[in-house]
């Protein structure tokens, strides 16, 4: 059983919603990324989504695009990201880590080579945003052969056929993009999210995490009532950016830890025994 499945099984039994923060690996530095990962776990993160810097992040809004640019300026590569995970695993062998990125760096490395390297580093899964389920069979085979999970995105525009196609290949959990557009965009309507999650759960048995548009504790609490996981990215990365620009990078781990602590408290106050299913 994967770390991801173990996590969601435990949280389901406890009636709790997962908190999944996203950060871009190497932003502002690889060393701070490692420290930040540990601080986020201490603050209540259940799973970490770690972004791989890429030159053309088409699914990301300007906040995460700038984070990617900062990491790329330091030469952070896919192998460097796996190295950070490997160092994280030296002292944390429980918290699942999912790589979020794009296909090009994986193709450069080679699908089978990537899958083996990710497994050896202690990665638990991958979300490759520009690989649709219809075109990913070789990579799916390579990743699953290493016992890793493949996470897929669903959107407000995903129809029944699309949901069923993803149900065939997804594992671990699925990521529901709660608003149309890129990361950091749009207004989140929790009632609409709830209705869509019902349609997804009718066809997919996996836990469903909800991301995009979650900026504060109040929004996280509302999403926690209906989702299996609350995923927060741009709100974290924007805080990292401000502190880095102010020359206060050393304050980043504590500041992000405090923010996640607020989200964790709000989510746990909302949970009352797994009412979101």
- Please identify every residue annotated as catalytic: 49, 60
CA 153, 159, 160, 161 torsion-angle sign: negative
Evaluate whether 28 touches 35 at the Cβ level (below 8 Å): no
β-pair type (125-128, 149-150): parallel
Answer yes or no: are the C-beta atoms of 19 and 46 closer than 8 Å: yes
Radius of gyration of the chain (CA): 17
Tokens 């871009």 found at: 24
Place of tokens 């900062």: 70
What backbone phi and psi angles, to 5 degrees, belong to 95? -75, 120
Dist CA 144 CA 139 (whole Å):
8
Reply yes or no: is the peptide bond before residue 28 cis, omega within 30 of 0. Answer: yes
């Amino acid at each position: 059983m994967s770390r991801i499945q173990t996590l969601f099984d435990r949280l389901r039994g406890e009636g709790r919603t997962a908190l999944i923060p996203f950060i871009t690996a190497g932003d502002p530095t690889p060393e701070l990324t490692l420290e930040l990962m540990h601080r986020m776990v201490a603050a209540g993160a259940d799973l970490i989504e770690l972004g791989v810097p890429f030159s053309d992040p088409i699914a990301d809004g300007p906040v995460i695009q700038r984070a990617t640019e900062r990491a790329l300026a330091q030469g952070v590569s896919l192998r460097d990201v796996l190295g950070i995970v490997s160092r994280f695993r030296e002292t944390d062998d429980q918290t699942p880590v999912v790589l979020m990125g794009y296909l090009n760096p994986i193709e450069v490395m080679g699908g089978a080579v990537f899958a083996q390297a990710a497994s050896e580093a202690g990665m638990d899964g991958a979300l490759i945003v520009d690989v649709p389920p219809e075109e990913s069979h070789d990579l799916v085979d390579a990743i699953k052969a290493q016992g890793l999970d493949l996470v897929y995105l669903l959107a407000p525009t995903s129809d029944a056929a699309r949901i069923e196609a993803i149900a065939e290949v997804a594992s671990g959990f699925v990521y529901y993009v709660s608003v149309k557009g890129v990361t950091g965009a749009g207004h989140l309507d929790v009632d609409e999210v709830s209705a869509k999650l019902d349609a997804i759960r009718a066809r997919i048995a996996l836990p469903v995490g909800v991301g995009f548009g979650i900026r504060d504790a109040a929004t996280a609490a509302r999403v926690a009532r209906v989702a299996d996981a609350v995923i927060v990215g741009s709100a974290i990365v924007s805080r990292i950016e401000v502190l880095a620009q102010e020359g206060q990078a050393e304050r980043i781990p504590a500041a992000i830890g405090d923010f996640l602590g607020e989200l964790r408290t709000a989510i746990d106050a909302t949970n009352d025994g797994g009412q979101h299913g």
